[in-house]
Structures are given as structure tokens and as C-alpha cells.
Amino acid sequence: MTGSAFVDINWQGQRVAIEHTWVGRPSADRAVRAAPLIVFLHEGLGSVSMWRDFPARLCDAVGARGLVYSRPGYGRSGTLNPEPTWTPAFMHEQAHVVLPALFEALDIDVARDKPWLFGHSDGGSITLLYAARFPDRIAGAVVLAPHILVEDLSVASIAQARTAFETTDLRARLAKHHDDVDRAFRRWNGIWLDPAFRTWSIEDDLAGIRCPLLAVQGLEDEYGTLAQIRGIAARLPQTRLLELPACGHSPHRDHPEAVIAAMRDLLSMPIAGNVQIL
């Protein structure tokens, strides 16, 4: 991807600088505004740079424009000062307040230029929450390893991640992608391991989603089981499922071509009923 730019959003009365970059077809060229706009939402420890070249590959393959950004406090993005303590509603805040503020700051008219959201892990959950709250401001959604409820497997793996952060080179590897790696890790890790988060669920929120939807899960995902995406499909008949063997928590890294093919199919074909892509 090309170098990142920054735009200030208005969040809780403060100006917060958000790192972002455009990929695929040039965003400023009015002649290509008809091309789909795909917005990429990273996982709980992600950032612009941690997507690597996947957004560009996907956008090039499907003829789309892409917007990749780091959420506040991740990557090179700023955050509130002082930053409030995270609560179980932190993903709702990102979906209902921060993402719309980013669209406004970038002068993206989501009523006219409805984006596709492409979310991974926590970013997938944020995608679902945005789609449910703003059904008329989204063209479609792709969610990779999303969370709609908290599983024991997720909590156990996140606890192991804390140990790895403290005892292995995980911290050094993440530090390449975040200005404040300790804050980025500990607030994500802390809220997921907070007992108050064990009852977190967005299952009831899903009812508001009307757009086409692709839900992807690796069969060897250490952070979630098929209960996550099958739970989505049970509530939303327009869901397409992609269940990938020999795949962990990052399907776009383990099986990028399968994800790109499924996205291309979703963009080009209407969805009727619950279709499983094998």
C-alpha cells in the first residue's frame, strides 16, 4: 500500500487524527466513483500496515476503490486525551460514532456512495453493528472471523496472548505497527478478559441488517468457532457462508484467493436465501 495520510475526526468534542490510505482505483477521480467502495476494518490488534497488501489485491481483483484506516489508538492514529476506560460497548462506539465521523471527515456521502464494509475479527463485529444501525448507508458486508458472542475458546486464547506479549517477541513484532503498542495491546486484552465482558453479545443487534452479507470462518481459528458465523446465518437468511479448512483466525492471510473469489462472487451475483460456499 502507499504511504498513509491523516484526517481529523470530531469525537467526543476532540479532534483525533486518523491514519488512512486509499488503494485500488483513485478515490479522487470522479470518472471511477461508480466503482464499489470497500472500507477495511482491522482486528483487535490490527492497523493499516498489518493488512499488508491484501486490500490492494482485493480491490484490484474486483475493480473497487479501497479505504483502509487505523482505529483511534491503533497504528499511527491518535486517540482521546485522556482516553476513557474501555467498556463492553467499545465496538458499538466505533460502529455508531467513530466510523460515521470518519466518513464525514473524508467527505464520503454514504447515502449516495454506499460503501461495502470488510471487517476482520473485532472489525467484523463493528461491521455488523454499523450495518444494523445504518441499513440505508451500506451496500454490503464481508466479515472474517467476527464475534457475535463471547466463547470460552476466545477468552482462553486471549489470555494466552497476554502471556505471549509479556514473555515472547510478540510485543516487538506488534511495535512495528503501533505508535503505542502497550496501550493498544492492554486495552484490547483487558476488556476481553474483563468478567463484565463475558456476557457481551450482539446477536439481537443483527436483526437490523438488510444488506448482502458474506461471513467467513477458518476451521482452525483459535479465537472462535463456527458458532459465530452460523449464528449470523441463522438470523439473516441473506448470509453466505465460507468455511475454510486449514485456516486460522486470518482467512485473508491463510486463503486470500478463496476470500477474493467469494467477494467477487458476492459483488456480481444477487443473493437468494442462505447459500454456503464450499
- Beta sheet of 37-41, edge-to-edge order: 5-11, 14-24, 65-69, 37-41, 116-120, 140-144, 213-218, 239-244, 275-277
pLDDT value for 84: 87
Q: What is the pLDDT of residue 31?
A: 46
CB 12 within 8 A of CB 81: no
Q: First vs last Cα of the chain: how many Å apart?
A: 30
Compute the distance between CA of residue 67 and CA of residue 202 in angstroms, rounded to an integer. 25
Q: What is the pLDDT of residue 25?
A: 67
Q: pLDDT digit string (tens) for 180-215?
A: 999 999 999 999 999 999 999 999 999 999 999 999
- Give me the pLDDT at residue 30, please: 46
- What the chain holds in terms of domains, given with CATH numbers, is 5-277 (3.40.50.1820)
Task: Decide: helix, strand or coil at residue 181.
Answer: helix
Nearest to 18 by CA among 55, 47, 50: 47
Its pTM stands at: 0.94
Below-50 pLDDT ranges, the chain: 28, 30-32, 271-278
Which residues are bridge partners to 275 per DSSP? 240
